[in-house]
Structure 1
Amino acid sequence: MKVCESIEQSSISARPNFPITLSKLYINGEWRDSHSGKTFPAIDPTTEAEIAQVAEGTVEDVELAVKCAGTAFAEAWGQMSGHERGEILWRVGDLFLKYGEELAFLQAKEMGRLFTDSMTVDIPHLANMFHYYAGWASKIEGSVKQTTKGLHTYTLREPLGVVAAITPFNFPLILSISKFAPALAAGNTIIHKPASATPLSALKVAQIMEEVGLPPGVFNVVMGPGGTVGNALSTHPGIEKVAITGSTASGIRVIKDSADTLKHLTMELGGKSANIIFADADLDVATQTAYDGMFYNKGEICYAGSRMLVERSVYDEVVERVRQRALDTKPGDPLDPNSQMGPIANKSEYDKVLSYMQVGQKDGARLVAGGKAADIGTGKGYFVEPTVFADVDSEMTIAREESFGPILSIIPFETFEDAIRIANGNQYGLASGVHTRDIKKAHKAAARLKAGTVWVNTYGHFDPSAPFGGYKMSGYGREQGWEALEFYLQTKTVWVDLS
């Protein structure tokens, strides 16, 4: 599945609308108010209006969720056969297709993702993810080892236990399911802490898990601030693993908080991905692909190709092509099928993106498109213009730090070695892109780039079978593929004396 591909949309509602009915915590198969009774608002970034009051979890709520998830692991889910778990997970995938429009609507309302993108990309991918891991659930095996004569030695692959999933606001469904599906297939139980900006889609997922008949306690959702709920999950001795997608700073906090209990960790963190365009590339394809790889989902993507490296001989032409595409991209209501870019997900991110636009200009980069807030005619919403900076130096802030918004830095280079040096000269290593007609050059670049994913003459392809994760400060561990299962299992070696 490619992030920017389009499929037949004739079955998509022109203007969907669903009631917002879910707002409570989901613990042990029950919908509960917070222990404190406190709530917090869910805000529509398109209108800046409150759309729901959502239960704000506490340490006590986490304690209850851990207890119930531990019981469910010991007495139910962890004791099921892989075949049984696989059958249930397959049905979960089917329900994501059934409720696709509602899930897409919720993402549009709570974080501004284009409804059409959710329907054509997210929903099929979510169903595929559960179907893929449903197949793996019955294929988790150990092996017999040839050791000393008279001894029978074998390994068992066992689930860890209770897993905490801490997820961000930018792809609230995809980045959650990439944790849930392998964790459940391996036999673990889950406590999910979604981003405070995106609780509504998370609660719909809980409702799907309830409908499919997961035993109580197997899947739980506790909303609330990271400093409270996230910290409680990271420090709790009953949690065996934390899987987080978030900023590098958030990942470091989880690592520190979890150190005393030596938890298993998967860290999918920040990025400042380099997208290299060589002079021999097909510039029509390369500029369109690289543009989409940056501005898709309003740039709120961890793998965004936010550093476009362009060979000097075609630099001016590429800058102009990208500038024109930015000028032609119109922000709008994410529920409008004609919109090309939705609002920034929340006010704090909106302010941060605007500040990076100002920093880029202050540092001397050449602004060629955008650079300010956008007005879609309502006077409301966290909309910004797709922004392109040219003549960026690698030491500028906008070339070093993750702005997490629609801000592209274009950097010229002279030689192959120059391109690789610039691309690798950053603290992050989540993803990268290479555009060239020379297949030898492409393979050579892929081998040299310090990034967990390299896309060649494309950008943003994902599939449940293909692992994804980072190098350097972009984290460790992998999501998707059979490789992800390894991070939700542990190995036991058994020795039997046959004498």
Structure 2
Amino acid sequence: MTKRVLPDRPLAHPGTLFIDGTWTPARDGETEPNVSPVDGREIVPVAQAGAEDVEAAVKAARTAYEEGPWGRLPDHERARLLTRAGELIERDNDEIALLETVDMGKPFAFSSTVDVPMAARLMHYYAALCTQVDGATRAPAGGQLAYTRREPLGVVAAITPFNFPLLLSMTKIGPALAAGNTVVHKPSPATPLTALKIAELFEEAGFPDGVLNVITGPGVALGEALVEHPGIDKIAFTGSTTVGQGIIRKAAGTLKRVTMELGGKSANIVFEDADLDAAEELAFFGIFYNKGEICTAGSRLLLHRSIHDGMVDRLVTRAAALKPGDPREEDTLFGPLAHRGQFEKVSSYVELGQKEGAELRVGGGPFTPEGASGAGLYFLPTIFTGVDNGMRIAQEEIFGPVLSVIPFDTEEEAVRIANDSAYGLAAGVHTNDLRRAHRVAARIKAGTVWVNCYNLYDPAVPYGGYLASGFGRECGPESLESYTQTKSVWIGMD
């Protein structure tokens, strides 16, 4: 059993912010320890930015956009820099993956084979899109000439969450820079390490000063400062629906553009004619991947009544055998929850589910792996049956390894239950009937529907939400639409 060990100095500039191409302490000198959910140990000190640091970061980004070389850089030069960033991410794959693992508890088996390679692919993809931010020629009545230009917005604030720190940073930084904007990035205070590492790589790649700035520190205070700052032109946010609603309200004061990738309570529907072995695998993966800390988690499993009991028994057996372990060990597939607040939230929802009358079939509590200190935030895979879709555990986002199983009798009922939610981020449909697959996918109110698969992503395919799951799209050429604005130019021909 191989355990990855973090070097004594995992970051070149611990306890600092990255502003205007310089690594600098917070103006007041404050730092806080970054604590690993794996064993409760401090990894590095993290600078705690304040109002003056926000002002400096926004000024640096504004200057780089309006006066520096970035705004005048040819498309192919932006593409070259993004390509170089992707190459450096590939070079440091294992180092970045281990940072992600110790910072948020994601097993190295996934961070090294999914998160970091996908981050590099995102950079290469957006490098290719740099030269495709173009307009169109129009022929208005009257014989004049008109054409459109797609221009960058200016300074983008990227506010990212704790569950996919690396990837959800790249899905914002990539299109923002490809479109010609500059960025101030505020990562989650719980998981800032890969954001700082990426800033190191962007510096090495040769990005001009001020193009990417990273400020770490208290989430609410920094987030509000960015949202209310008149020098920020757009907020790109991933996080909870409640926080997103607050950002939208505050951003209205300065008429900022906003994109919101928010919460989810995805329905994963298994019909009686599905390949049950494949459906079981996908249902298990759909909820327990990344410890359930994924906004698209298939946390509501809708099973046709004829297959309900057998499928539940199989899933319960598998969940009982999946014990959390040290994510630094290469054979671990299920690590600790990302931070103490999330651990307590999941615990409270398990207690709530039992009070609501659901049957706890497996899991439901903390776990200490063999040889662990007991300070880790490990929580057992949990399955509830006897769930009514009106229960809070079926309606509210738990964001942890908790599955609610709900039976249904007809296709119509399955669709009704799936759509009986405030959220609309994703859904799954498992059936061997092609007509049913298309029919149900069309009727489900969600931004992504996976048919006979689950949790698949690609830089070229957009994703985002309906309803309380937000608006705007990340990935794909569609993502550039929210990082640009259209100008119409008329040419008099008389």
Q: TM-score range by the shorter chain?
A: over 0.9
Q: SS state of the match for residue 493, structure 1?
A: strand
Question: 2:163 matched to 1:170?
Answer: yes
Query: What does 1:331-410 align with in structure 2 at a 5 Å threshold?
Result: 331-377=324-370, 378=372, 379-410=374-405
Query: What does 1:70-219 align with in structure 2 at a 5 Å threshold?
Result: 70-74=62-66, 75-219=68-212
Among candidates 13, 36, 44, match of residue 44 of structure 1: 36
Computed over aligned residues only, the root mean square deviation of the Cα atoms, in angstroms, reads 1.1
User: What residue is the counterpart of 2:233 in the other structure?
Assistant: 240
Contact 1:295-1:406 within 8 A present in 2 as well: yes
Shift of 1:447: 0.2
C-alpha distance in 2, partners of 1:150/1:336? Answer: 69
User: What residue is the counterpart of 2:45 in the other structure?
Assistant: 53
Structure 2 vs 1, CA of residues 99 and 13 (structure 1 numbering), >3 Å: closer, same or farther? farther
Question: 2:4 matched to 1:15?
Answer: yes
C-alpha distance in 2, partners of 1:99/1:250? Answer: 33
C-alpha distance in 1, partners of 2:335/2:379? Answer: 9
Shift of 1:14: 5.0
Shift of 1:226: 2.6
User: What residue is the counterpart of 1:28 in the other structure?
Assistant: 20
Residue type at the aligned position of 2:89: F
Q: SS state of the match for residue 372, structure 1?
A: coil
Shift of 1:150: 4.3
Contact 1:269-1:302 within 8 A present in 2 as well: yes
Contact 1:145-1:153 within 8 A present in 2 as well: yes
Query: What does 1:285-300 align with in structure 2 at a 5 Å threshold?
Result: 285-300=278-293
Give the structure-2-normalised TM-score. Answer: 0.97
C-alpha distance in 1, partners of 2:432/2:29? Answer: 60
Query: What does 1:211-360 align with in structure 2 at a 5 Å threshold?
Result: 211-360=204-353
C-alpha distance in 1, partners of 2:395/2:403? Answer: 12
Deviations 1:375-408 (A, max 9, x none): 1132220001000001100111110110110000
Length, aligned pairs only: 488
Residue type at the aligned position of 2:465: G
C-alpha distance in 2, partners of 1:187/1:130? Answer: 14
Q: SS state of the match for residue 211, structure 1?
A: helix
User: What residue is the counterpart of 1:3 in the other structure?
Assistant: none
Contact 2:46-2:217 within 8 A present in 1 as well: no
Shift of 1:16: 4.0
Question: 2:465 matched to 1:470?
Answer: yes
Structure 2 vs 1, CA of residues 13 and 211 (structure 1 numbering), >3 Å: closer, same or farther? farther
Contact 2:340-2:377 within 8 A present in 1 as well: yes
Residue type at the aligned position of 2:33: P
User: What residue is the counterpart of 1:483 in the other structure?
Assistant: 478
Shift of 1:248: 0.4
Residue type at the aligned position of 1:23: G
C-alpha distance in 2, partners of 1:40/1:117? Answer: 28
Shift of 1:131: 0.6
Contact 1:23-1:203 within 8 A present in 2 as well: no
Question: 2:405 matched to 1:413?
Answer: no
Q: SS state of the match for residue 487, structure 2?
A: strand
Contact 1:16-1:101 within 8 A present in 2 as well: no
C-alpha distance in 2, partners of 1:154/1:487? Answer: 20
Contact 2:62-2:231 within 8 A present in 1 as well: yes
Shift of 1:148: 3.3
C-alpha distance in 1, partners of 2:367/2:319? Answer: 13
Contact 2:6-2:99 within 8 A present in 1 as well: no
Deviations 1:275-330 (A, max 9, x none): 00001101100011111010000000000000000000000011101101101111
User: What residue is the counterpart of 2:56 in the other structure?
Assistant: 64
Give the structure-1-normalised TM-score. Answer: 0.96
Shift of 1:130: 0.8
Residue type at the aligned position of 2:174: A
Shift of 1:101: 0.8
Contact 1:23-1:200 within 8 A present in 2 as well: no
Shift of 1:124: 1.4
Shift of 1:152: 1.9
Deviations 1:19-39 (A, max 9, x none): 333331000000011112111
Shift of 1:151: 2.1
C-alpha distance in 1, partners of 2:15/2:418? Answer: 44
Contact 1:78-1:159 within 8 A present in 2 as well: no
Residue type at the aligned position of 2:311: V
C-alpha distance in 2, partners of 1:150/1:415? Answer: 59
